[in-house]
Chains A and B, each alone.
Chain A
Amino acid sequence: MSRQSVAKAHQKIQELSWEPAYHEPVSQYGTDYTFRKAQKKDPLKQVLRSYFPMQEEKDHRVYGASDGAIRGNMFRQVQERWLEWQKLFLSIIPLPEISAARAMPLLFRTVPNPELHNGQAIQMIDEVRHSTIQQNLKRLYMNNYIDPAGFNSSLRNFQSDYCGTIGRQFAEGFITGDAITAASIYLTIVAETAFTNTLFVAMPAEAAANGDYLLPTVFHSVQSDESRHISNGYATLLMALADEDNHQLLARDLRYAWWNNHRVVDAAIGTFIEYGTKDRRKDRESYAEMWRRWIYDDYYRSYLVPLEKYGLEIPHDLIEESWNQIWNKGYVHEVAQFFATGWLANYWRIDPMTDKDFEWFEYKYPGWYDKYGAWWENYNRLSRPNGHKPIVFEDVDYEYPHRCWTCMVPCLVREDMVMAKVDGQWRTYCHEMCKWTDETAFRPTYQGRQTPNMGKLIGHREWETLYHGWNWADVVSDMGFVRDDGKTMVAQPHLDLNPDKMWTLDHLRKCPPLASPNVLLNQMTDDERTAFAARYVKGGPAGRPAPAEA
C-alpha cells in the first residue's frame, strides 16, 4: 500500500468502533485512575492489510539469517561464555513477552478510547510473535550449540529457579493489580520505553561481538515492534495526565516501576554484557556507558523530562540513585559475583574471569580489582573439583547475602539493606525504595487515598525458604538441574566439558545444608536481629563480612 493509502485506510478503519447500545462489555480489571474521554488518536496508525505482510517480510529475514547461521557454521565462532548466559536470558524472556500480550485487555475497559484499542490489539499479536520467535531461537541454540544442557530444560528451570523468579516480575507485574499501573506504566512507559533499549539493542550488539549474530537478528526484529508499543504507552500516559487526580498515582507508579526495572533489568543485562563477553577492547562501551546513553540520555532526558511540563512528577532522585548504584556502588559487579557464588543453584555454566578481563574492568571501572579481583581469582582456583567444596562454602571473604523481599535480588550493596516487619513477618530489602514498594505502594491506601485496585506482592518470595535444611545434592536434584547421566550438574563454574572436570551431585552431598536467611532472621530474638542488621550494613563491598569489632 502506498503511504497515502495507508493514511486513508487508517482513517477508514476508525469507522469500525461503536458505542454499546444494549449491553456494556464485561469489566474484569480495575483501576484507581480516572480518564476523561480525551480524543487521543491511535498512535500506531497500523492497518492489518499492510501489517501482516510487513511482519511476514521481517520473518523471512529472521529465518533466512537462521538458515545462514547454521549453513555458515556460526557456532564454530560463538563464545561459550556468552551463549551460557543465554540459557538464563532465553528461559526468562518468552514469558514477559507473552504476558505483555495478556496485559492488553486490562486496558480495554479502563482506557475508554476505542481508537487506542486498535493499537493495543496489534501489540497483543506482536507479543505473541516475540514470545514464540524467542522460544524458536532458543530451540535453535539447543540444537546447534555444543552444550544443550540448560536449553533443553529451559522452562522447567526458569520456573523453579531463583534467577527465573527475579525475572518473572518482568511478566507478572504486567498482568495483575491496578490495570494502568501494570499494563501501562510498568509495561509500556518504563519497561518497554526505557529498558528494552538495553535488553534488545545493547545486549544483541554484545552478542554479535561474541560471534552470535542470531540474537541481534531476532531481537532487532523484535525491537522494531517495540517502537510501536512505546507509542501506545505514550498516548495512554497523555490521557492519564489530562486528569489531575491521576498525578499522585502516576508519581507512585513511576517510582515503583522505575526502581523495580532498574533492580531487575540492570542486574541481569548488566551481568550478561559485562561478564558474558570476551570482547575486551578498551573502546567498547561498558554497561555503565550504555546505560548512560540508552537510559539516562535517551529515556530520562529526552522522553521523561519533557513530560514534566504536563504535570508528570519525574523521579529524578531515583534515576540519579540508579546511576549511583551502577557507577559508585558496583551494583552490576555485586550481582555478577553473587550469580557466580551461587553457580550451583543455576542451570548454566559461568566462565571464570581472566587477567585480560581484570584489566578491562579496571580500565572501565577504576578500583574494580581491589574490590573484586581477589574473589574472582578464588573463583578460578576453586572452579574444578579438587577435594574442595564449591566457592560458596569456602573461606573467600564472602558472606552469603539476605534476599530482598520486593525485587528478590539479594541485598548486595550491604550498606543499603533495610529491614521491617511487614504483614507479621520480618523482611529484608535491598534498598529503602524496595521497602517502600512493599510497605507503602502495594497497599489499598496510598498517602491517605483509597487505592482498592492496587495489586499485592504474593508468593514464596525467598527461594531459599523452600529448601531450608536440605542437602544441596537434593536441592539440585529436586530442581532437575542434572544431566542425563543422573549425576553431573547442568551448572558448572567453568567451561571445561571434560566429564572428569565437571561437578556432580556426589560433590554436593558433602556440603553443608542450605539455610534460609529469612527463616533464620525470623527465628532471631529482637536483640539478635538488631545486632544482625547493624553488622550486615557494615559489610561489603564484594560481599565481605563486616570487619570484626575492635
Chain B
Amino acid sequence: MTTTQDSPKFERSVPKPVFTDAEAGAREFPDSTLRHYNYYKPQKRKQSHYEDVTVDVQPDPRHYLTQGWLYGFADGRGGYPLDWTALKAWGSDKPSPQRGPGTGGMIVKDWPATGWHEFRDPNEEWELTLYRYNSNVVRQVTQNVEAAKQSKAFEQWNPNWVRFVEQHIGAWMHVDHGLGLYLYANANRRAPTNMHNNAISVNSMHRIRAAQDLALYNLTLSEEIEGFDGSAHLQTWNNDPAWQGVRDVAEQLTAIDDWCEAIFAANVVFEPLVGELFRSQLVQQASPRNGDFVTPTVVGAAEYDFAERDLRYTTAMFELLTNDKEFADHNKAILADWLGSWTAKALSAARTLQPLWSQPDAKPPRFEDGLDRVKNRFSGILGSLGLEAPKELAQ
C-alpha cells in the first residue's frame, strides 16, 4: 500500500496583509472631513492642484517660520532676503516679527504678510505639467526632423541657406544655453517664494532644452547634408561681427545681480526685441521662402515656450508689482530705469543682427518692418504691465 503525504509547506517570511480599515470615512471624529491644506489661502475660490504642491513649501519668517532661518551666509543672513531685488511688494518694509524668550510663535495671522506671496504661475507648472509639456515638445521636434529626413527635405535647400542655418540658426543655441543656465537657473535661488522660483526654474529648462534642440538639429544636418559644417556656429558666435552685439547683451544679462531685473530684462525686453525678432521676423519668414519647412518647427517650439508660457508667468509676476497697493510707484520708477537701459542695449544688439536679413537668397520681409513689429509687440507688453514705452525705443 502506498500512502501520499503532503510535503511540508515552505512558508516564506514576508509581511502579512492586515485589514486595518484606515481609509477615509471609516469613522467620524474631529477633523475627519477636513481634507484640504488649511494653511494657505487660494488665489481663487478653490485651492488648485498646483497651489497644493507649491504654496508655502519655501517658508517665510513673516509667516509660520517661528524659529527663523537656521543657517546663514557669512554675513549672518539666511533664507531668501527680500533685498535681493530693488523691487518691493506690499509689506516688504514691515520688519519680521521679533521673536525671543516667551514671545510665542508670533505667527502672522494677517496673511499674506507681503505681496510677494500673491504670485501664482498662470501656467501652473509643477512636475507633472513640466515633464508632460517638454516631452511633447521633444517628441514633436524629433518627429518633424525625422519626417524631413525621410522625405529628403534638406535636398531642397540652396547652398546659401545651408550656410545660413549652419552659422546663424546655430549661433542662437548659445544664447539659449547661456541664459538658461546663468540667468534663469541662477535666479531660481533668489526669489522670496516657491511660486516664483519654480516658475523660473521651468523657464530655465525651456531655454536649455531649446539650446539642445538646436544643437541636435545641427548634428542631424551634419549627417544629412553633405558639406554642412556642424562647427560653423562656434566661429559665428565667437567672431562674426553681426553676432557680437547679441553676445555682448546676453553676457550682460548673466551679469545682473538683481533677480527681478534679470527676469525683466530677459523676458520683457530682450526676448521680445531680439529673440522674437530673430525667430519670428527672420527665421520663420525666411525659411519657407528658401525651401525649408523644418527649421521653423524647431525654432517654433522655442517661440511657443516664450510667447505662450514664459512671457505669461513673467507678465503675471510684474503686473502684481506695477499694481502693488504700496509700492506701485516705487516699482514703476525702477522698472522705467531698467527699461531705458535694457531697451537701448537690446535695440543696439538687434541692429547689429541686420546683415543677416540680406544673406538668404530669398529674402525675408525687411529688417525695419520686422523691427517695427517687435517694437509694437513690446509696447503692448509694456502697456499690459502699466509701463510707458521708453524713449530709447525710438532708436
Interface positions of A (Cβ within 8 A of B): 8-9, 12-13, 15-18, 20-26, 28-30, 47-49, 52-53, 55-56, 59, 63, 73, 75-80, 83, 94-95, 98, 101-106, 108, 117-118, 120-121, 124-125, 128-133, 135-136, 139, 142-149, 152-156, 158-160, 162, 165, 168-169, 172-173, 175-177, 208-211, 278-279, 281, 283-284, 408, 444, 452-461, 463, 465-470, 474-475, 478-480, 483-485, 488, 490, 497-499, 502, 516, 519
Contact = CB atoms under 8 A, between A and B. Distances in A.
Interface stretch (B149-157, B250-258, B328-336): B250-258
Nearest to B178: A18
A22 B197 contact: no
Contacts of B189: 102-106, 175
Given A135-B53, A139-B53, A490-B31, A461 B130 contact: no
Contact of B70 (A9, A104, A283, A458): A458
B134 A52 contact: yes
A125 B130 contact: yes
Nearest to B223: A8
Given A128-B202, A480-B107, A121 B180 contact: yes
Given A12-B215, A208-B15, A456-B74, A53 B130 contact: no
B165 interface: no
A49 B138 CA distance: 6
A25 B186 contact: yes
Given A77-B19, A168-B70, A209-B15, 14 more contacts: A18-B237, A21-B251, A26-B256, A48-B209, A55-B131, A121-B181, A124-B201, A144-B24, A156-B64, A160-B64, A160-B67, A165-B70, A466-B66, A466-B104
Given A47-B216, A121-B204, A145-B24, A458 B71 contact: yes
Contacts, number: 388
Given A26-B256, A146-B24, A101 B15 contact: no
B101 interface: yes
A457 B70 contact: yes
A117 B181 contact: yes
Contacts of B64: 155-156, 159-160
A281 B72 contact: no
B13 A497 contact: no
Nearest to B208: A121
Contacts of A94: 57
A160 B107 contact: yes
B254 A23 contact: yes
21 contacts: A15-B233, A49-B141, A53-B138, A76-B22, A79-B20, A98-B194, A106-B189, A108-B181, A125-B201, A125-B205, A129-B127, A149-B34, A160-B105, A457-B72, A458-B71, A466-B100, A466-B102, A467-B102, A470-B104, A502-B29, A519-B101
B135 A20 contact: no
A179 to B, nearest CB: 10
Given A26-B186, A159-B63, A466-B102, A49 B142 contact: yes
A159 B13 CA distance: 40
Nearest to A98: B57
Nearest to B24: A144
B67 A460 contact: yes
Given A83-B22, A177-B74, A453-B74, A47 B127 contact: no
Interface stretch (B36-44, B317-325, B386-394): B36-44
A121 B59 contact: no
A67 B254 CA distance: 43
Contacts of A28: 186, 190, 257
